[in-house]
Every structure is written in C-alpha cells, then in structure tokens.
C-alpha cells in the first residue's frame, strides 16, 4: 500500500491546492510557478506508472488513485483556465474534455461490473490525447510568448487537437462497449445509484 508509486500518486493530489494557490498568487512569477507545479504533477503521472510496473508494485490502491489524481488535476487546471479566459471556444473544449472523462469513467465502471472491463482498456489514441492535452494545458498556464513563439496560441491549437482526439477516443470506447450496452439489463443492474 505505502510504496513509492502510490506516494507519487498521492503527491499529485496534494499538488492540486498548491497549483491553485500559485495560479492566483498576485506576483509576477505566479504563472511560471503554476506551470512548474503542473509539469511536476504530469511527470509524476508517468513516473508512478513506470515505477509500479518496473518494481512490480502494481496495487489496487494505485490502480484506483492514479486515474482519479489525473482527472482531478486536469479538471482543476481547465476550470482555472476558463475562469482566466472565458472565451466560448475554451469553455467548450474544457466541457468536452471533462465530460468525456466523466462518461468514460462511468463506462469503465459499468463494464467492470459486467465483467467486460478489458473492452474499454486504455488505447493508443487515448495516450496521444493525454499527451496533447497535457502539452496544451501547460502552454495555456504559462501563457507568455517565448522566443517570439506565441505560446498561448500554440496552446489553444493543441487544446483543439486534444478535443478532436478526445472525441475520437471516446467514440472508440463507446463502439467497443456498444454490444454490451445494447444487451438486456440484468436484474442485478437495476439499482438506482443516483
């Protein structure tokens, strides 16, 4: 339970309020600090999974916490970015990404309940989506031009690439799950959990 990969995952969750504080800190270097915290969190996302596999420390707690930590950090960052720049295109992009995460999490949970979890396992397109999303959010947090490169504009373009990949990967997951979704509702599945 208390191993290095799990501690890195917990660190990612702990970094969320730190990220929020730096994002709003009324000093000139707040965006740079918030960017560093977000990049550190993204790095721990890769590192905890790598170490868990390499050191054979894959655990039930880690399998549960890792996607939760990722989604919490990404959703927090997107909400803050939309609050800082409330343009409709960014708001729609954030809504699509957050909505997809909720929908696919619910789909995976339901598929696990009926014993078909592997049909909605993480795909390659999902990994590209995550990379584009993390790069976009990093650039949007940093915001300022760098060596005459319009960082914010590049971040917006990458965000829309991430949205396309998000919709594409969601479609793939739903297609994989569609035969199960079209089947009859089993008696054990009739409880209302809302």
Going from N- to C-terminal start, the domains of the chain cover 1-74, 85-177
How many other C-beta atoms are found inside a 10 Å radius of the C-beta of residue 127? Answer: 12
Q: Can you tell me whether residue 38 is helix, strand or coil?
A: helix
Compute the distance between CA of residue 15 and CA of residue 165 in angstroms, rounded to an integer.
Answer: 27
C-alpha pair distances (Å), 66 with each of 11, 14, 48, 52, 85: 11, 13, 8, 11, 29
Q: Decide: residue 151, CB within 10 A, 0-12 exposed, 13-18 middle, 19+ buried.
A: middle
Which residue, 74, 54, 38, 39, is CA-closest to 4? 54
Q: 143, 80 in Cβ contact below 8 A?
A: no
Q: What is the pLDDT of residue 186?
A: 56
Q: Which residue bears the tokens 């969320």?
A: 16
Closest CA to 79 of 64, 99, 66, 94: 94
pLDDT in tens, the chain (194 residues): 577 877 888 889 999 999 999 999 999 899 999 999 999 998 888 887 777 778 777 776 667 777 788 889 999 999 999 999 999 999 999 999 999 889 888 887 777 776 665 555 566 777 888 889 999 999 999 988 888 899 999 999 999 999 999 998 888 878 877 777 676 665 554 445 54
How many Å apart are CA 94 and CA 85, to the nearest integer? 12
Right CATH for 1-74 from 1.20.120.1760, 1.20.1050.10, 3.10.310.10, 3.40.640.10: 1.20.120.1760
Tokens found for residue 73: 């950090």
The Cα–Cα gap between 81 and 16 comes to: 14
């Amino acid at each position: 339970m208390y191993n290095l990969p799990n501690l890195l995952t917990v660190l990612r969750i702990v970094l969320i309020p730190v990220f929020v504080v730096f994002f709003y800190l009324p000093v000139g270097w707040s965006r740079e600090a918030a960017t560093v915290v977000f990049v550190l969190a993204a790095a721990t996302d890769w590192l905890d999974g790598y170490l868990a596999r390499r050191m054979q420390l894959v655990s039930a707690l880690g399998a549960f916490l890792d996607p939760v930590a990722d989604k919490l950090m990404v959703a927090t960052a997107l909400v803050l970015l939309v609050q800082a720049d409330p343009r409709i295109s960014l708001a729609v992009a954030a809504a699509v990404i957050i909505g997809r995460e909720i929908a696919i999490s619910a789909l995976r949970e339901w598929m696990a309940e009926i014993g078909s979890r592997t049909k909605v396992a993480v795909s390659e397109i999902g990994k590209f989506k995550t990379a584009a999303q993390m790069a976009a959010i990093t650039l949007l947090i940093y915001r300022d031009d760098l060596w005459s490169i319009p960082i914010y504009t590049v971040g917006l373009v990458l965000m829309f690439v991430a949205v396309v990949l998000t919709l594409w990967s969601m479609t793939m997951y739903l297609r994989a799950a569609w035969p199960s979704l079209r089947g009859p509702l089993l008696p054990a599945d009739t409880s209302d959990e809302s």
